[in-house]
Amino acid sequence: MINTPQDKKEISKKLKERAIFEGFSLSGIASIPGSSRLKLRTNALDRWLSNNHHGEMKWMEAEKRKNISLLLEGAKSVLSVGFNYVSSENDNTHKSLKIGKFGQGDDYHKVIYKKLKNIGKWVNLEIPDCKWKICVDTSPLLEKAWAEESGLGWIGKNSNLISKKNGSWITLGFMILTEDLIPDKPHESLCGKCDKCIEYCPTKAIVEPFVIQSNLCIAYHTIESREKNFPLKIEKNLNGWVAGCDICQDICPWNKSVPHNNTFENNPKKWIKNLDINSLSWDDKTWEENLKSSTLKRIKPWMWRRNIKANLRNQSINK
């Protein structure tokens, strides 16, 4: 039982330290319902949805995404964590077929969930009366807004969360708690006048600062779109991308000196290192076996073939 302000301050500090101990690079706390910026972010989500910028991603329309209190009765605080997924081995510079850095290692949903589950066990011992719920990006949560509210970083013009230390090479996780904890200060935006992510996007998917039009985004088409063929504008700008796209992150000044996190979870899968034109001969069973512990199993075998073939057509035209 937390009885005094000093107890609350101490347990809040210990909770964030526990997150770092479990392997997260960033941790912070926000109070529920949060500051006025959460309302602004929710309104921005509504505008994005009303413009159909989410394409086929219908799960983004879930009403619970706009009200974190609906995810856990009695919710008072949220612990936000960031996991640095950039490794010294996942560079795409000289590859003809490229995969986004986020997807080269183990399934980050499982990695983050396991670490948060360990934190939950710690909470059960330290705050026995506290109920908690784990959320990753498959949960209906306004995740980047809550990470910003918790002081982890700020939402950049490419809509990614950016931190001073880890840039945008982070995946996010959350633990909603029924305990009233000491919140961190929401992070201020540090993008300034920089527009490099907007300038360098080959398909102009960042239609205005902070707004991504999904049907112009290479990552969206290679991962989410179930269409049999890519629009011509997408195909001619693939430049090797078969799963995701890191262009707007690679160009970001905040990503130039991010420390590598060379843990076993981030080691690129062997099949990813070996991905080439011969991968077109892999049957569905081979693909499914390769994708078993990968974030990229969302991309079905037929989609991998579509993505690879589109790149090969594009590369032959540009020779």
Pair type for strands 98-99 and 241-243: parallel
Which residue, among 276, 304, 275, 274, has the nearest Cα to 288 in the 3D structure?
304
Residue 245: CB atoms within 10 A of its CB come to 28
CB 158 within 8 A of CB 211: no
What is the C-alpha to C-alpha distance for residues 268 and 274, in angstroms, rounded to an integer? 10
From the DSSP assignment, how many helices (H) and strands (E) are in the chain?
11, 10
Distances (CA, A) of 292 to 21, 105, 172, 287: 28, 12, 21, 9
What is the C-alpha to C-alpha distance for residues 243 and 65, in angstroms, rounded to an integer? 26
Convert 32-79 into a string of H (helix), E (strand) and C (coil): CCCCHHHHHHHHHHHHHHHCCCCCCCHHHHCHHHHCHHHHCCCCCEEE
For the question of residue 137 being annotated catalytic, the response is: yes
> Choosing from 46, 106, 137, 276, which is the catalytic residue?
137
Q: Is 155 exposed, middle or buried (CB count within 10 Å of its CB: 0-12, 13-18, 19+)?
A: buried
What is the C-alpha to C-alpha distance for residues 285 and 271, in angstroms, rounded to an integer? 14
CB 148 within 8 A of CB 190: no
At 201 the three-state DSSP class reads coil
CB 181 within 8 A of CB 12: yes
CB 49 within 8 A of CB 65: no
**Which residues are catalytically annotated?**
137
